[in-house]
Amino acid sequence: MTDCVLVPVDGSPAAQSAAEYASEQFPDDSLTLLYVIIPMVDYSRKRAYPGYTQDDEFSNEREKGEHILGTTRETLPDEVSVVTEIEAGNPAQTIIRYAETNDVSQIVIGSHGKQGIARFLLGSVSETVVRRSPVPVTVVRPTE
């Protein structure tokens, strides 16, 4: 039986590096590429564009996620088993919840390497996942 390795992706170089690392280090396991849609609190565009709704925004984000998942999948070796998923919510909480409820054995996550004030203001998804994950986490920096 193969293990499930969760790889959150967002289209960034860091996420791409994490997916490549996971496919190299866990070639016999199933990789789950997870894209998280961050719900928008203020749909101000709705006011600017009559007829634009939250459903439109969610649909646009889902299409973006499908594109990112497809692009990431195409870069991985064909022999690697890959499943793609899209969830909505706070990224760190969604990744942790997915790991808890889907028999994930390992998380491989990219790190953008934010430091200083950017890290303080924005937080770090990878740091939160490391601290709260129920399974081992490998953090991968983007290859340059």
At 102, which CATH number? 3.40.50.620
Cβ within 8 Å of residue 102, ≥6 positions away? 4, 6, 32
62 contacts 54 by C-beta, under 8 angstroms:
no
Q: DSSP for 71-126?
A: HHHHTS-TTSEEEEEEEES-HHHHHHHHHHHTT--EEEEE-----HHHHHHH--HH
The burial class, CB within 10 Å (0-12 / 13-18 / 19+), for 101 is exposed
Domain limits at 26? 4-140
Per the document, the length of the chain is: 144
Reported pTM: 0.85
With a cut of 70, list the residues of the chain below it in pLDDT.
1-2, 41-54, 113-123, 144
Q: Which pLDDT score is estimated for 121?
A: 44
Both tokens assigned to 142: 């983007």
Q: What is the DSSP-derived secondary structure letter of residue 78?
A: T
Number of domains in the chain: 1
